[in-house]
Structures are given as C-alpha cells and as structure tokens.
C-alpha cells in the first residue's frame, strides 16, 4: 500500500517521471503564486503528489509559447517530425512500467490495465509518426485551359486539448500525436484528478526532442478557466475534448464565438445485445470486458445489456458466475480485476442507479452494495428485470453495474437500443449472417462491435454520432482534424 510520495517514487525505476511541476514552453514551472493542488491515490486516499495550480494568465503563456514555436515545427519535414514522434513512442514503451505505476496510483485501475493503456497510448504516437509522412494534397484537372488547380494541406496551428481522468495517458496521446504529426503545436490540460500521466508523457516528449513550446501541459483545478482561455484566445485555432456531453456542450458554445474547429469525444450509453443464436460463452466474455474494463468508467462500455428471451436465464447465470470470480482491490496489488472508483461521487452514482432500478422492479443477481474494503470500492453488480423506465436506461452509469433487459424480437431491441441521445459504441452477439448485416446497419452508433466486446484500437476511426461527439480520432482519418485544406487556382 502506498503511504506518501516517497513510497510512489520508490516504485519507479525513473523517479524523475513523477513530475510535480507544470511543463510550459519547455520549462518545468511552479505556479507564480505558489499554489498547488493534491493528487490522491483513490484506493487509499493518501496524497501522492502536489501539482502547480496555474492561473489563466499562466495558461495563456503556454499558448504564447505554442504559437511562437509552431511555425518552425511545421517547417520541418514530415520525416523529421516522424523521427521525433517515433522516439517518443520508443521512450513511452521503454518506461511502460513506470508510466503504468503512476497511472494506477493516480487513477486506480489495475496495473495490468494501466500497462495496456500505456501501450494503447503509445500506439497512437507510433501510428501518427507514420502518418506524419503521408499528408498528401492533390491536383485537379483545370476547369479552363489556362487554369491549374492544386489542393494542399497545412497544419491548422495551435491546438488545445482537455482530457478526462479515466484514460489519463491514451486520451492525451490520441490528440497530441496527430496534432504534432500534422505540424501543429499543442497545449494539454489534464483532469485535476490525474495529471501525473500527462506530466510524465511531457517529460519523455522533451527527451524525444519535441522542441520547447510545441507541447505544454498546464495543470490547474480551474477547468472552466482553462476552457475559456482555450476558446477565447485568438492564438488557439483548434479545440479537442474528451469527456461528458454536458461539458462538451459548454465548450462548443464557448468555441462558437471564434468559429473554432472542434473535436468532441463525449458520453455514451452503449447497448450490448445477445441474440438467441449467440455463442453464449463468447458473449459472457465480451460483456465482462466491455462492462468492467476500467471498472466500467469507460465511454464505450456496455451500459445496457439486452438478452433475447430464449437465452436470458442461461446468459444471466453464466455472467453472474464470471462476475463472481472478479477480485476487487488495490490496483497495485497482483490479481486485482476491479480497482476503486475514481471518487466518492462516482460510487454515489452507481448506488443511485442500482437503487432506482430495484425500486422500479429489478432484482439483484449479484453485488448491489459498496465493497467491504470501503471507500470508493464497489461490488460488481448485475440486476435482472431492467426496464426502459429506469435511470440506467437513459444515463451513463460509469461504474460496475450491469442491468439485464429481456427482449423478444429484433425490431424491438433495435428500437430500444437506438432510443438514446447518445451514439458512441454498441455491441451485439449473433451468428446468423443476415441478422448480423441487418443489425449492424440498423444500430445508430459510430462504432459497432460484432461478436466482440472490445473495439478500441489506433488503426480505426474512434468517435460517435448524435450527442456522443464530433470527429474521429485514430486511423488515417485522425490527422485530418489538425489540417486545413487549401485550394490553389493558378492562371497559366
């Protein structure tokens, strides 16, 4: 168990990766007024770091440094930027264990998941190191004999990003990597609860040769002030956000005044559908990984589990048995499957959804309460008899709560699955080919898992429709959000 900062640094092969200063314009800085905020280990509540609480003016200074360094960074060849990004990827993987320990200490997820997230984040850096060399334009046959048409793509300029606590490495990597690959500079503002991963990434970016000012990490408890500076500062040309739809709406409204380009990866409410021709064992494994990855604190996790009547009881029994084998504990301890929730209000939300469901007729199959470990630990919970009238049918739980809805036919479950303002990820298990094609086309989501519960990869376009967001991250499409297209018409 961790007691204090010294305990955490004693676990690191590179203690200097626990950075307790902000990274602005290539300098490691304190807040001008000396203000700091505490970072606590959610498993035990102890303080593991004290981080500068920067002011809006200090955030503006990071934007100035990004602006002053961007043109020279863009003037480098794609190959030069690729080389530096690839070195950053190599350093992230060389220090995977230290980055994972820092992540589990500040966010709580099991060390095995933290290692996976570091590799996932690094994969985005590796992917966009390659894409940096492939920003192609085009020539178009002229519309008149004396005209020549070309189209080129240029970096948009200074980009700013606000990211959540649930994936404190990958959400930053998935934004900074394409931005830098395109020739943009980037100011990152990580969540108050989890700044350590971002700061360690900045340390390794500096070592990889990212020039001063091109990538800054501004730490502050005043997220709204950071958001306003990002949206109102004329030097910022691009805003990218991952978090709740509620905050996404606020930022979009603020960004509208400058007609700023925005990318939004927002909330979800993923349906997970099991048809009667599914491989039930595969469906159970898919439900476990989709529902309980990061303790359910994932925007793409299964939030509603729909099971066709003919296999409902068999699936429920298998799922309960699998959940019963999951170990709740400190993420730094071997064998832990489910760490603590990020903060007390997160446990309150899970409890609220469970109590609401039971009050409206659901039956607890397993779990249902805070875990005996106390604090933010919670029992993984399954209820049967879930109905559309329950809170969990409309809201993202963001915790280890699996409500089982029973359905009769395909049309009925498609209607229920689509009855939400969200459209990020969805999943279904079936083996009839015609049904698979019908259902994958009928579900109104940006991403579909067919006979799989995990879809996150750097090679595919990640993003949602409806109120789950704007734009895509990852894949060959992800760099486009950091580029402007310029049409050139030349008289010959």
Ligand X SMILES: O=C(O)[C@H](O)CS(=O)(=O)O
Ligand Y SMILES: NC(=O)C1=CN([C@@H]2O[C@H](COP(=O)(O)OP(=O)(O)OC[C@H]3O[C@@H](n4cnc5c(N)ncnc54)[C@H](OP(=O)(O)O)[C@@H]3O)[C@@H](O)[C@H]2O)C=CC1
Active site residues: 265
Site string for ligand Y, 395-414 (x = CB under 6 A): -x-x----------------
- Structure tokens that stand for 115 in this block: 């290692």
Q: In this chain, which stretch among 84-92, 121-129, 137-145, 242-250 interacts with ligand Y, using CB under 6 A?
A: 242-250
Residue 113 to residues 59, 101, 170, 172: CA-CA distances in angstroms? 32, 10, 12, 17
Return the bridge partners of 307, or none: 274, 406
Taking CB under 6 A as the criterion, the residue among 154, 223, 440, 452 binding ligand Y is 223
Q: Which does 386 bind (CB under 5 to 8 A by kind): ligand Y, ligand X, none?
A: none
Site string for ligand Y, 186-205 (x = CB under 6 A): -----xx-------------
How near is the Cβ of 428 to ligand X at its closest, in Å?
17
Rounded Cα–Cα distance for residues 397 and 18 (Å): 31
Closest CB to ligand Y among 48 and 299? 299
Closest CB to ligand Y among 343 and 480? 343
Taking CB under 6 A as the criterion, the residue among 170, 193, 255, 264 binding ligand X is 170
Q: What is the DSSP letter of 74?
A: H
Q: Which of residues 265-324 bind ligand Y (CB under 6 A)?
A: 265-267, 299
456 in contact with ligand X (CB under 6 A)? yes
How near is the Cβ of 390 to ligand Y at its closest, in Å?
16
Q: Write phi, then psi, for 407 (nearest 5 degrees).
A: -135, 160
How many residues bind ligand X (CB under 6 A)? The answer is 10
Site string for ligand X, 230-249 (x = CB under 6 A): ------------x-------
Instruction: Please check whether residue 204 is in contact with residue 88, taking contact to mean a CB–CB distance below 8 angstroms.
Output: yes
Residue 269 to residues 9, 150, 423, 444, 449: CA-CA distances in angstroms? 38, 43, 7, 12, 14
Q: Which does 198 bind (CB under 5 to 8 A by kind): ligand X, ligand Y, none?
A: none
Residue 440 to residues 258, 286, 414, 435, 449: CA-CA distances in angstroms? 38, 17, 10, 8, 9
Q: Which does 380 bind (CB under 5 to 8 A by kind): ligand X, ligand Y, none?
A: none
Site string for ligand X, 280-319 (x = CB under 6 A): ------------------xxx-------------------
Of 25, 54, 437, nearest in space to 226 by CA: 54
CB atoms within 10 A of CB 142: 14
Rounded Cα–Cα distance for residues 150 and 140 (Å): 6
Residue 478 to residues 131, 185, 457, 470: CA-CA distances in angstroms? 9, 16, 12, 12
Closest CB to ligand X among 55 and 197? 197
242 in contact with ligand Y (CB under 6 A)? yes
Spatial neighbors of 345 by CB under 8 A, at least 6 apart, are none
Closest CB to ligand Y among 272 and 315? 272
Distance of CA 477 to the CA centre of its chain: 17
Helix (H, G, I), strand (E, B) or coil at 332: coil
CB atoms within 10 A of CB 75: 9
Closest CB to ligand Y among 166 and 308? 166
Taking CB under 6 A as the criterion, the residue among 36, 244, 366, 387 binding ligand Y is 244
- Structure tokens that stand for 2 in this block: 């961790």
Closest CB to ligand Y among 155 and 243? 243
Taking CB under 6 A as the criterion, the residue among 69, 70, 104, 166 binding ligand X is 166
Which residues contribute to the site for ligand Y (CB under 6 A)? Answer: 162-166, 191-192, 223-224, 226-227, 242-244, 247, 250-251, 265-267, 299, 396, 398
């Amino acid at each position: 168990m961790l007691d204090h900062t010294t305990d955490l640094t004693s676990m690191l092969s590179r203690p200097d990766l626990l950075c307790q200063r902000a990274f602005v314009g290539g300098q490691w800085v304190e807040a001008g007024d000396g203000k700091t905020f505490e970072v606590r280990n959610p498993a035990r509540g102890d303080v593991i770091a004290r981080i500068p609480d920067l002011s809006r003016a200090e955030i503006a200074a990071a934007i100035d440094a990004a602006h002053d360094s961007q043109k020279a960074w863009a003037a480098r060849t794609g190959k030069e930027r690729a080389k530096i990004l690839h070195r950053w990827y190599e350093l992230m993987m060389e220090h995977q264990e230290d980055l994972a320990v820092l992540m589990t200490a500040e966010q709580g997820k099991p060390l095995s998941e933290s290692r996976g997230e570091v590799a996932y984040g690094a994969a985005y850096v590796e992917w966009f190191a390659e894409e940096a060399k492939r920003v192609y334009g085009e020539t178009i046959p002229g519309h008149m004999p004396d005209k020549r048409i070309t189209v080129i793509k240029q970096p948009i300029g200074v980009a700013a990003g606000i990211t959540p606590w649930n994936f404190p490495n990958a959400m930053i990597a998935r934004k900074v990597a394409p931005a830098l690959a395109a020739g943009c500079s980037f100011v990152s503002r990580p969540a108050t609860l989890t700044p350590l991963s971002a700061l360690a990434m900045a340390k390794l970016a500096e070592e990889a040769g990212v020039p001063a000012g091109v990538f800054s990490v501004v730490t502050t408890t005043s997220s709204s002030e950071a958001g306003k500076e990002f949206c109102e500062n004329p030097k910022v040309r691009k805003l990218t956000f991952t978090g709740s739809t509620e905050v996404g709406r606020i930022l979009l409204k603020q960004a509208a005044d400058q007609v700023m380009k925005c990318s939004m990866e927002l909330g979800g409410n993923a349906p997970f559908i099991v048809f009667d021709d599914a491989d039930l064992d595969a469906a159970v494994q898919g439900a476990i990984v989709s529902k309980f990855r990061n303790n359910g604190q994932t925007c793409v996790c299964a939030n509603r589990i729909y099971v066709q009547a003919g296999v409902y009881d068999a699936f429920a029994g298998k799922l309960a048995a699998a959940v019963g084998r999951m170990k709740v504990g400190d993420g730094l301890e071997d064998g832990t499957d489910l760490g603590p929730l990020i903060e007390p209000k997160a446990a309150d939300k899970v409890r609220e959804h469970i109590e609401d469901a039971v009050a409206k007729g659901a039956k607890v199959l397993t779990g249902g309460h805070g875990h005996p470990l106390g604090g933010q630990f919670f029992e993984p919970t399954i209820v049967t008899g879930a109905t559309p009238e329950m809170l969990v049918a409309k809201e993202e739980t963001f915790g280890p709560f699996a409500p089982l809805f029973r359905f009769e036919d395909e049309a009925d479950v498609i209607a229920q699955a689509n009855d939400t303002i969200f459209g990020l990820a969805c999943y279904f298990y079936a083996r009839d080919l015609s049904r698979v094609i019908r259902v994958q086309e009928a579900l109104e989501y940006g991403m579909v898992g067919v006979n799989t519960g995990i879809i996150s990869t750097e090679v595919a376009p990640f993003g949602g429709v409806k109120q789950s967001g704007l734009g895509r991250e990852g894949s060959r499409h992800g760099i486009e959000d950091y580029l402007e297209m310029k049409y050139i018409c030349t008289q010959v």
